[in-house]
Structure 1
Amino acid sequence: MTLHLISHDLCPYVQRAVISLAEKGVDFERSNIDLGNKPDWFRAISPLGKTPVLLADGVPIFESAVILEYLEETQPHPLHPGSPLERARHRAWMEFGSATLNDIAGFYSASDERTFAAKTAGLRRKFEWLEGELGTGPYFSGDLFSLVDVVFGPVFRYFDTFDRIADFGVLAELSKVGRWRRALADRPSVVQAVSSDYPRLLERFIERRGSRLSWILEENTVQLGAGTWQAR
């Protein structure tokens, strides 16, 4: 079987598929597209116009959750637990991860200080929930690297950039969350899910939002190089 992943440089949902494929040791081709100028061939295979799309022997599969489940059913090295109850629990927390990504989008898109503060507080509540759910680590289910970890690797990657812009306190004093974040940051599949210029691309994306976070970035930091900032 040939697997061809249609990708975008910054898409966290693409990263999920890449991490899963890497953990399973599966060969695949990856092609990036410009979502601001979608080619006709992409529109023809992506009814929602979003990435990722996985072409499995030429058959398009869209939506990251569906792609992850397909890979679980067809590829080695399962990332779901064996128990039906635990699988259901993990799927629920994967949905929580998607909701967290939606909150992150609200955070970097908030246009005024009041909305930005509300979005920051909402993100904080999400991670407080996680702090209460996590055990001794290093991963969501202890030593088992699972699809919940696959989902949250891209979530925490955003904070590598946010933390360089300013201290927003979203993850402050959440020791279990911090330990989990560090474990995922060290996982080769998570590290390699994006290109080396990802931090620079994310910075440029934030700059162009015209949002409160864009203003904070402009006011408090200067870019020194790809993904590196220094306070003024």
Structure 2
Amino acid sequence: MASLEQPILISFKLCPFVQRSVITLLHKKIDFTIEYINLRKKPDWFLEISPLGKVPLLRVKEHVLFESAVINEYLDETHGERMLPEDPLARAEHRAWIEFSTSLFNAQHQLTQARREETYYKIEEDLTKKLAPLERKIGDQGFFEGDSFSLVDSAFAPFLMRSQIVADNIGVDPVSDYKKISKWRKNLLSLPEVQKSVVKDFEDLYMEGIYERGGYLADQ
């Protein structure tokens, strides 16, 4: 393990939930160390400090935080200008949409694993339906709301990045049916904190994973 002089983010290279926290750390300009582990062969030290056996973990001094939404709120509360609204009701609404983003990650991941055509299109239909209320909610300035980057933006950016990669490599893109989400995706993917939140060969690794699974999507 690295030293604890600065926060240590324990990560897996392809995990979208880790990426959320990397984006927030970069946006906040927080010095941190990132340590990658192999989730197929988790180190004993990791299992000892991870209650759920999952990434991300953020080690702060002798404390260990888990769950990306919790990690991001801690970073937001302790560093720089707040990314969640000050108004309690607006803040709760942002938290709800952050939770909603998890359902999109789940559907996106299921698409990469579906083997049968029927199963694949059922999942794709579900994903497309989930995008409809998001299209109605988000603003038209390239961010979730208003003209500034929020924790909701950092929560959705990994989903949007993966959707763009699949669109570029396979030509499947449910997001393209939604004008505001497409604009949101283009803007977020242009931001340095989003571009630098993954390893340099991330696109290749992500596509390799899809092809290795040999599902219906890989044959498109």
TM-score surpassing 0.5?
yes
- Note if contact 1:24-1:78 (Cα within 8 Å) is conserved in structure 2: no
In the aligned structure 2, how far is the partner of 1:173 from the partner of 1:207? Answer: 25
CA contact (8 A) 1:8 1:35 kept: yes
Greater length-normalized contact order (CA 8 Å, ≥ 6 residues apart): 2
Q: What is the DSSP-based 3-state SS (H/G/I as helix, E as strand, rest coil) of the residue aligned with 2:127?
A: helix
**1:69 partner amino acid:** E
Report the aligned-residue RMSD: 1.3
CA separation in 1, counterparts of 2:155 and 2:100? 9
User: Is 1:171 matched with 2:175?
Assistant: yes
Correspondence for 1:120: 124
8 Å contact from structure 1 (residues 108, 211) kept in 2: yes
Report the Cα distance in structure 1 between the residues aligned to 2:13 and 2:174, rounded to whole angstroms: 25
**How do 1:176-195 residues align onto structure 2 when only pairs under 5 Å count?**
176-195=180-199
SS of equivalent to 1:208:
helix
Once the two structures are superposed, the pairs formed by residues 87-126 of structure 1 within 5 Å of their partners are 87-126=91-130
> AA paired with 1:152?
F
SS of residue matched to 2:174? coil
1:86 aligns with 2:90: yes
Deviating beyond 4 angstroms after TM superposition, the runs of 4 or more aligned structure 1 residues are none
Structure 2: how far apart are the matches of 1:183 and 1:165?
Answer: 20
Q: CA deviation at 1:136?
A: 2.1
Does residue 203 in structure 1 map to residue 210 in structure 2? no
Instruction: Name the structure 2 match of 1:223.
Output: none
TM-score of the superposed pair, with normalisation by structure 2: 0.94
Listed as ranges, the matches of 1:203-222 within 5 Å are: 203-216=207-220
Q: What is the DSSP-based 3-state SS (H/G/I as helix, E as strand, rest coil) of the residue aligned with 2:82?
A: coil
Give how far 1:169 is off.
4.4
Query: Is the contact made by 2:163 and 2:173 (CA closer than 8 Å) also made in structure 1?
Result: no
Identity between Structure 1 and Structure 2 (%): 39
Counterpart of 2:68 in structure 1 is 64
Give the CA deviation at 1:214. 2.6
For residues 18 and 177 of structure 2, the distance between their equivalents in structure 1, rounded to whole angstroms, comes to 30
Structure 2: any 5+ residue segments left out of the alignment?
Answer: none
Contact 2:27-2:193 at 8 Å conserved across structures: yes
Distance 1:204 1:146 in 2: 31
In structure 2, the partner of 1:51 is: 55
Q: What is the rounded CA distance, in whole Å, between the counterparts of 2:12 and 2:31 in structure 1?
A: 19
Contact 1:138 1:179 (8 Å CA) reproduced: yes
CA contact (8 A) 2:166 2:173 kept: no
Aligned counterpart, 1:225: none
Query: Closer, same or farther in 2 for the Cα pair 1:167/1:214, shift >3 Å?
Result: closer
**Structure 1 unmatched runs, 5+:** 217-232
Alpha-carbon offset, residue 58 of structure 1 = 2.9
Per the alignment, residue 148 of structure 2 pairs with 144
SS in 1 for 2:34: strand
Partner of 1:132: 136
